[in-house]
Amino acid sequence: MSSLLHVVGARPNFMKVAPVLRAGAAVPGLRQYLVHTGQHYDAAMSDRFFADLGLPTPDVNLGVGSGTHAVQTARIMLEFEPVLDRLTPDWVVVYGDVNSTVACALVAAKKGIRVAHVEAGLRSRDRTMPEELNRLLTDQLADLCLTPSRDGNDNLRAEGIPDVRVKLVGNVMVDTLLTLRDTAHELGAPAAHGVAGAPYAFVTFHRPSNVDHPDVLGEILGALDDLAAQMPVVFPIHPRTRQRIADFGLGALARRVTLLDPLSYLETISLVEQATLVLTDSGGLQEETTVLGVPCLTARANTERPVTVTEGTNRLIPSKRDGINRAVAEVLTRRAEGAFHPGRPEGWDGRAGERVIAALVAD
Ligand code: UD1
C-alpha cells in the first residue's frame, strides 16, 4: 500500500478528512492526494474551513458546483474519472454521505480501485433523504466500511455486508473537535456576536425536508421568533435556507433572530460550546453537542446518529412551532437542574483518524 486519494466536496467532509490526512502524514512512504469536487465552493462554505482545519490546498479541484442531484453527481463522476486514471491510487477514501461521496465511490469501484468509506453504516431509514441513498449505495460499493459507532456495524451486518469488510474506528469528526476545542474557546465568538455571559440559542437549518416547504419553514421560524422573545437566537444561515426564506416571503418571521452568513468551523464551535441550547437539523452538530455536553434539539423524524440520543444530549423533536416550544421549555427546566453532561460513545476519543490509517495500511 503506498497511496491514498481522499475525496471531499461539501462542508461536513472537511472536518472528517483533517485527522485522517494528519495520521497518514506520519506514515513513512505513504503518498496522499486530496481531491475537492467543488460541490461547495463559496469561501464561507469551503475556503474558511480549509484555513481553520489547516488542510492543504487540494491537489485537484473538480469545480463541479451546484445542480440537481443527477447533474451534480454525474458531473463529479465525469470529472473524477480522468483524475483517477492519472493518479492511480491504491485506495480512494470517501467521507460521510454527500453527493461527492457516492459519485467518487462508484467511479473508483467500477475501475477496480479499492474504496474505503469513513463514517460508514449510519442509517436514518428514511429514503426520502438524499443522504440515506448516498449512504446505502456507498457502503455496498466500499471494500472497507469504517464505522463511527457500533450501531453502524449492526446496520451493515443486517444488509448482508460481511464483517471482514467492516471495522469500527470511531468518530473522526470528534478528533477534530477535541483538537480544536481550546482554539475555538479562545476565539471568543460569543463576545464578538454580543451574546457572551448570558443565555442564547444557536440554530442551524438546511435540510430540504425543513426548508423547502413554506408551511414547515414557517413553523420553524415561528418557533424561533418565540424563542427570540426569551433569549438571543444566533442563526448562521446556509445559502439554501436564506434563499427559501426570501422565496416564501417569510423574512418578517426572522426579524428578531440574529441571521448570520455561514460561520467558519472555529466560530461555530466557539458559539456552540457556550450556548444554552442548540436547535438544528445538522448531523454533525448532534455529535458535537454530545461531546460538549450542550443540549441539542434536532427537528427531524429520525436520526442516523442514535448514540447522540441514547448516550448524548440530543433529542428528536417535530418541525412544529408548538412542539419546538414545548421541547425548548423542557430543556430550560432540565438545564436549570444541571441534567446535561458530556457524552463519549465508544471510539469518540480523538484517535479515530489514526485507526482509519491503521486499517488502510494493514489491508
Ligand atoms: C449538502 C449535502 C448535505 C450536507 C450539506 C452541508 C448532499 C446530497 N447534501 O447539502 O448532506 O448536510 O451539504 O452544507 O450532498 N450553495 C451555495 N454555495 C455553496 C454551496 C451551495 O450558494 O458553496 C447553494 C446553492 O444554491 C445550491 C444549494 O446551496 O444549489 C444546495 O447545495 P448542495 O451542495 O446541492 O446541497 P446542500 O444543501 O449544501
Q: Is 231 exposed, middle or buried (0-12, 13-18, 19+ CB in 10 A)?
A: middle
Q: pTM for the complete prediction?
A: 0.97
Ligand 1, atom 13, lies closest to the CA of: 10
Domains 3-171+348-362 and 181-336 share a fold: yes
Q: Which residues of the chain have pLDDT under 50?
A: none
* Cα angle value 168/171/176 (rounded, 5°): 150
User: Phi and psi dihedrals of 252, rounded to 5?
Assistant: -60, -35
Which pLDDT score is estimated for 293?
Answer: 97
Ligand 1, atom 7, lies closest to the CA of: 98
One CATH from 3.40.50.1370, 1.10.150.120, 3.90.1170.50, 3.40.50.2000 for 3-171+348-362: 3.40.50.2000
Q: What is the best residue among 46, 49, 98 to mutate for testing ligand 1's pocket, by most ligand atoms within 8 Å of CB?
A: 98
Atom of ligand 1 nearest to the CA of 96: 11
Atom of ligand 1 nearest to the CA of 243: 26
State the maximum Cα–Cα separation within the chain, in Å, rounded to a whole number.
59
User: How far apart (Å, rounded) are the C-alpha atoms in residues 296 and 287?
Assistant: 9
Domain over 181-336 is classified CATH 3.40.50.2000 = yes
**Nearby residues of 182 by Cβ (< 8 Å), 6 or more positions away:** none
* Cα angle value 349/355/358 (rounded, 5°): 160
Element (H, E) at 327: helix 321-336
Which pLDDT score is estimated for 1?
Answer: 56
User: How far apart (Å, rounded) are the C-alpha atoms in residues 144 and 114?
Assistant: 8
Q: Select which of 193, 206, 238, 341 is catalytic.
A: 206
Q: Where are the domains of the chain?
A: 3-171+348-362, 181-336
**Nearby residues of 321 by Cβ (< 8 Å), 6 or more positions away:** 219, 220, 222, 223, 226
| Pocket of ligand 1 from Cβ distances under 6 Å | 10-12, 39-42, 45, 66, 97-99, 130-131, 206, 238-240
Ligand 1, atom 6, lies closest to the CA of: 11
Q: What is the best residue among 97, 207, 212, 240 to mutate for testing ligand 1's pocket, by most ligand atoms within 8 Å of CB?
A: 240
206 flagged as catalytic? yes
